[in-house]
Amino acid sequence: MQAEPAQPSFAAIRQFITRLHFYVGLFVGPFLLVAAVTGTLYVLTPQIESLLYRDQLVARTAGPEHPLSEQIAAARASIGEAPRLFAVRPATAPGLTTRVMFSQPDLGESETRTVFVDPASLAVQGELITYGTSGILPFRITLDYLHRNLLLGDIGRHYSELAASWLWFSILGGLLLWYWQRSVARPKAAKVSGWQRSRRLHTLIGLWTALGLLFLSATGLTWSRWAGGNIDTFRNEVGWITPAITTALNPLAEAPVLGEHAAHGMGAAVETAPPVSETDMVARFDSVVSSARVAGIDSPMIEIRPPRTVGQAFRVSEYDRSWPTQVDTIAVDPSNFNVTSRADFETFPIVAKLIRWGIDAHMGVLFGVANQVLMAVLGLALTAMIIYGYRMWWLRRPAPGASARTLIRSFSYLPPVAKITALAVALVFGIALPVMGVSLLVFLLIDFFRAALAEMMAAEQRNMPPGMR
């Protein structure tokens, strides 16, 4: 490869950051675009979902509600004996249905088969698959899976983790490039080119949305497979743990920590205990709810999970994640209805609260419609910024055979201290964010082969007879 003259340290650093920013946009841009579009659709659709499933969600009969035990019995008669009763979400207001949720082996993680019961008439108004604490229905489940894994399962989660891992770097790199170039005097052109117009819009969108996009990147990483696991490990080591209850009634037993997806993995000690009678537990639901209300569980949005085995308590939790957040959880002894364990949101460490609020804001539920609009604006802005970035590249794409401006070459111009710093930073983030580290290696491989191909084409042109060049 042809040698180029040495560059001043600052110019070399700027060129390296520019090249890396370009590579992230070029190669990660498609993944960011899919995440932006699917995320925007997700936060804009709660109202659409409410209309689509109105027949299941809105009760058809007015009048006093039947006891929860009778509503559960109606759901059981409708669904049959095979599915296991998982939880019940009583109607949150008059005129709405109760959700009786069942689990079965062929459902995905955190999915339940939910029967919608009219509390006044005990009529079953339908059955749908629901998902997670948010209780979303099939339409938004599809959007959620598209956003998270492209409907490809665990392997597809790498796409969203790749997008979240590089988004923060792309934003910070763009801000740095803007800061360096903001005071550069440019001659006034008689006509603004398409490239200049795209660059200006790309930059303005990035400046106005930088904080919001950094927030999306950080909160998105908490859900990711590999980086999210490292974040959880770090939180455990420094004590930033979200408090949780135990449903074990024997204080000497090793009880599992019950979180949002508690039903999807019980400890071995619990699995060996004899199962409880569903009929016996269903008869206790109303008393458990009454006990929970006395204990301070006052949100209309509550979920009651019965014990699976002897020696366990009922789990009663609030799931109102709007502002002010109500997500208190208690355990209730089925024999005497005493509260045996509790985790109140107001006692959570500040970091645990911030993580809870951050996730809920990312989903567009923390501040209602205003939150939805803000997240949608960020998603649309990111979409536009990516499109303008690709237009910039297309308008100034290098001609075939042109000398390749590569990342490796830009790195070679860095002063020794900058090289060591760049390698150290790459190593740290490559370990903390594994998908980011692997993708960086892919960038370098593409970079190497691109440079080699450009050099081969240039050599062929040099060796051609003058009349054939």
- CA quadruple 383, 385, 386, 388: dihedral positive or negative? positive
For the segment 208-240, what is each residue's pLDDT rounded down to a tens digit?
999 999 999 999 999 899 999 999 999 989 888
Query: What does the pLDDT look like over 87-136, one tens digit per residue?
Result: 999 999 999 999 999 999 999 999 999 999 999 999 999 999 999 999 99
CA dist list (Å): 463 to 1, 340, 450, 459, 468: 15, 84, 20, 6, 10
209 contacts 382 by C-beta, under 8 angstroms: yes
- As a whole number of angstroms, the distance between CA 309 and CA 288 comes to 17
Q: Give the count of beta carbons closer than 10 Å to the beta carbon of residue 356.
A: 17
3-state secondary structure of 177: helix
Q: Are 83 and 146 in contact (CB under 8 A)?
A: no
pLDDT, residue 65, reads 97
| pTM recorded for the entire structure | 0.89
What's the average model confidence in pLDDT over 333-338? 96
pLDDT at 443: 93
Tell me if 69 sits within 8 A of 283, measured CB to CB.
Answer: yes
The neighbouring-strand residues paired with 316 are 304, 330
Q: What is the pLDDT of residues 47-89, one digit of tens each?
A: 999 999 999 999 999 999 999 999 999 999 999 999 999 999 9
Question: Does residue 259 carry a pLDDT above 60?
Answer: no
pLDDT of residue 263: 38
pLDDT at 6: 47
Mean pLDDT on 183-200:
78
Per-residue model confidence as pLDDT tens digits over 386-420: 999 999 999 988 776 566 678 988 999 999 999 99
